[in-house]
A and B are shown apart, each in its own frame.
Chain A
Amino acid sequence: MTELETRERLTPGPASSAVVWEYAPSLESTDHVKVASRYNLFIGGKFVEPHSKKWFPSLNPATEEQLSEIAEADKQDVDKAVAAARQAYDKVWRRISASDRAKYIYRIARLIQEKARALAVVETLDGGKPIKESRDIDIPLAAAHFFYYAGWADKLEYAFPNRNVAPVGVAGQIIPWNFPLLMAAWKLAPALAAGNTIVLKPAETTSVSAMFLAEILQEADLPPGVVNIITGAGATGAALVSHDGVDKVAFTGSTDVGKRIQRSLAGTKKKLTLELGGKAPNIVFEDAPLDQAVEGIINGIYFNQGHVCCAGSRLFVQESVVEPVIRKLRERIQTLRVGNPLDKNTDVGAINSKAQLEKIRELVESGVDEGAEIFQSSCALPQRGYWFAPTFFTGVSQSYRIAQEEIFGPVLSVLTFRTPEEALEKANNTPYGLSAGVWTEKGSRILKMAQQLKAGVIWANTYNKFDPTSPFGGYKESGFGREGGLHGLAPYVVLS
């Protein structure tokens, strides 16, 4: 443990006084899940060895043990994959009927549901998120996206009334490591429904569930080449984005890389959508239902270890209720269970990678240096693996790095405000604009805040609620384009 993590531990909260009730480990069984020791690329409906003959290790971040080996796709592999997608598009996918397309997508949804338990375990092993989350949120939502868009495949003329609707062609899609299978679903489902073929590049630290998805695509008998999955790191992604055979690029990831991609696409005919970072304001007014607001704050920043683009990482508390909110937050943070992600009682899992852990530590260090007051849960952290205790800072100023930069970890910055206008000004005072939360019992205030907050997704008296019918995406440097709902089809069609 670093010196930073032992500093300023909280005084033990309710969970550690008087009677202590230790919940015995309740581990999700893993024997029914077979993770291969090595995976290849999925091109043209088959698993093929990478041209480079190179594989890289994928670790379980909770144990630092190697889970599998993932193929590294190089430029030649990208060429092959794009060619396979183009072939499938011209010869098969744009020729079959829309309702047949719908059937394939529906089949994929059903197979995801049937294999839900195994997929949840894989997601947890590869990425470090609690089994409770992969089981109850990631996998069900992934299936839901396929179910939802299967329904649109043969109703596109109603999605865009009075317009002629055609697919774009071949889509190159790059997804992040925070919700691996779910992000794949968000990308694949609408693209397939609209009649496009795809080359997908999963994140290098979390490719295993994508490989399981590839097996599902085979089982669904999806025509070869309609979806190709090429694994690799930044270079693979860059090769995909710059490939001439790709008609549309969709990227979810960091703002920096998003900017690079947009620059590289300038002057080309490629369509682009970006879903980037965020530094969402979670605004608690004095008339908020306080205990539920605290739950919302906790959910907003500690769900998925804070590895969420729309995480409520800046808490704005109305000054008149700062004392009870901080007090309740301090008590509540102590009851968060941090540990083995396979334990069904774990609330907060492992940090996805060593690199991410370093980034979080660096920013937290900056918070202390700049003068904010740090509070950390006094939970015990396992010896091996990448872990960070749930943390929040008070006395934060707008200019501190921890109020400006996306930390992407279980770290909350708390600021105060006096009036709704001040809250709006400070909340909007950021280059990001992905999401926001508003906590108040006053309906008119919810409506007013929602109108004036520059965020693509606004939650009122709740947080982190997703649904395939609801469009998700940002303003400003959080990106453009929407995923989910009717709006999610738009980037994948050409209208005339």
Chain B
Amino acid sequence: MSESLVTHTPGTLAPALLRRSLGDALEMVHGVDAVALEERAASLAKRSLKKESKVWGLKLAISMMDLTTLEGKDTRGKVHALCQKAMRPDPSDPTIPHVAAVCVYPTMVPFVRQALKGSSVHIAAVATGFPSGQTYTSVKVQETRETVAAGADEIDMVIDRGAFLSGNYQKVFDEIAEVKEACGPAHLKVILETGELANYDQVRKASLIAMFAGADFIKTSTGKVTVNATLPVTLCMLEAIRDFQHVTGKKIGIKPAGGISNAKLALSYLVMLYETLGGEWMNPDLFRFGASSLLNDVLMQLRKERTGAYQSGDYFTMD
């Protein structure tokens, strides 16, 4: 079962989103009760997945991963190794699918393109002054254009948190719309950086602004701050996606990133996705994990399900 589970092909995106305004987004904003939200997330995390349902979930999780390296010291060599892992996570088990994408800084894109030649793994790149976003809009737009030209299928942008937190929602909205235009055929993920937002009310607001401005995916975090993806914050975003779909008919994807370190947690995210948005979202076109060390933990769990025993960490490659 090594066929591609990623069905979205770059270059065949739907035409420009129907023009919507900031007002549409703000109209759908309402409070989010933190205590109740966290309770719901915790109760979903109590689901017990066993046997076939667990194996299925773990393999799906792999097919949804954006294997990521975002370090100042990234080089062609590092990126090449990561790409091999991305295409064949476990050479000893042909039933294990390839990951969804490899995610890198813009200048690494040509190396990724080369390494992934012939494979269905997507090329994702961060852009727009990642991770802080504290630079000029013109620079963000130019960076996006050049990164797409270099071969990126997907762009992960950051919102202007300074503008958001000071109430300048129009600026946040307009910037996303401009970057979306610069993406051309590439799909756009909008990182809200939930760890910098004050509360779940703001997360909902940012999610709605991003979706109405043209995001294809909303993403929790850059992974570069202390608090990254959590179950409740992701649930808050899932609920915003559900409401957006009801109003516009459009399905937006979601990518929790950072802090998803083990298979059990990954399965909890999938359960939460399934019980909130349903089976239609259970594929890499609408859900991604932004992760690096998660893959080995999932492979370890899969091997345990297959052989009945946990193997030492030495049997799983560090790329």
Contact = CB atoms under 8 A, between A and B. Distances in A.
Interface of A: 13-26, 132, 136, 287-293, 295-296, 327, 335, 344-345, 441, 461-462
A21 B36 contact: no
Would you list the 3 A-B pairs with minimal beta carbon distance, nearest first?
A14-B278, A292-B36, A19-B279
Interface string B267-279: 0001000111111
A13 B51 contact: no
Contacts of B54: 24
A452 B31 CA distance: 24
18 contacts: A14-B276, A15-B274, A15-B278, A16-B278, A18-B278, A19-B279, A19-B280, A21-B56, A23-B50, A24-B51, A26-B49, A136-B46, A287-B30, A288-B31, A289-B32, A292-B32, A344-B46, A462-B36
Contacts of A327: 246
Contacts of A13: 278
A289 B278 contact: no
Contacts of B311: none
A314 B278 CA distance: 28
Nearest to B236: A291
A374 to B, nearest CB: 24
A14 B49 contact: no
A327 B245 CA distance: 13
Most buried by B among A21, A22, A290: A21
B239 interface: yes
A21 B57 contact: yes
Interface in B43-83: 46-54, 56-57
By secondary structure, the B interface counts as helix
A441 B31 CA distance: 7
A335 B53 CA distance: 17
Given A24-B52, A290-B30, A461-B36, A132 B46 contact: yes
Contacts of B46: 132, 136, 344
Contacts of B35: 461-462
Nearest to B32: A289
A289 B31 contact: yes
A345 B37 contact: no
A437 to B, nearest CB: 11
B150 interface: no
A24 B54 CA distance: 8
Contacts of A20: 279
B36, B39, B275, B277 pick with most chain A CB within 10 angstroms: B36
B49 A24 contact: yes
Contact of A289 (B30, B52, B280): B30
Interface of B: 30-33, 35-37, 39-40, 46-54, 56-57, 239, 246, 270, 274-280, 282-283
Nearest to A335: B275
A345 B31 contact: no
A26 B50 contact: yes
B31 A287 contact: yes
Contacts of A345: 47-48
A26 B278 CA distance: 21
Contact of B53 (A23, A295, A441): A23
A16 B282 CA distance: 12
Given A344-B48, A441-B31, A24 B53 contact: yes
A17 B278 contact: yes
Contact of B36 (A15, A25, A296): A296
Contacts of B56: 21
Contacts of A344: 46-48
Given A21-B274, A132-B46, A295 B36 contact: yes
Nearest to B275: A335
B279 A289 contact: no
A292 B278 contact: no
A20 B274 CA distance: 9
Nearest to B39: A295
Q: Which of A24, A290, A292, A293 has the most CB of B within 10 A?
A: A292
A18 B60 CA distance: 15
Nearest to B239: A291
B239 to A, nearest CB: 5
B178 to A, nearest CB: 31
Contacts of B279: 14-21
A291 to B, nearest CB: 5
Contacts of B30: 287, 289-290, 441
A132 B39 CA distance: 15
A443 to B, nearest CB: 11
B275 A18 contact: no
B282 A21 contact: yes
Given A18-B282, A23-B53, 7 more contacts: A14-B277, A14-B280, A21-B57, A21-B274, A291-B32, A292-B37, A344-B47
Contact of A23 (B37, B47, B276, B282): B47
A26 B48 contact: yes
Contacts of A132: 46
A14 B245 CA distance: 12
A289 B57 CA distance: 31
A20 B56 CA distance: 11
A25 B276 CA distance: 21
Given A287-B31, A335-B275, A21 B53 contact: yes
A195 B54 CA distance: 53
A21 B30 CA distance: 31
Contact of A15 (B49, B52, B275): B275
A120 to B, nearest CB: 14
A20 B54 CA distance: 13
A294 to B, nearest CB: 10
A292 B276 CA distance: 12
Given A289-B36, A292-B32, A296-B36, A19 B48 contact: no
Contacts of A291: 32, 37, 239
Contacts of B50: 23-26
A23 B31 CA distance: 32
B218 to A, nearest CB: 16
A295 B33 CA distance: 11
Contacts of A15: 274-275, 278-279
A121 to B, nearest CB: 15
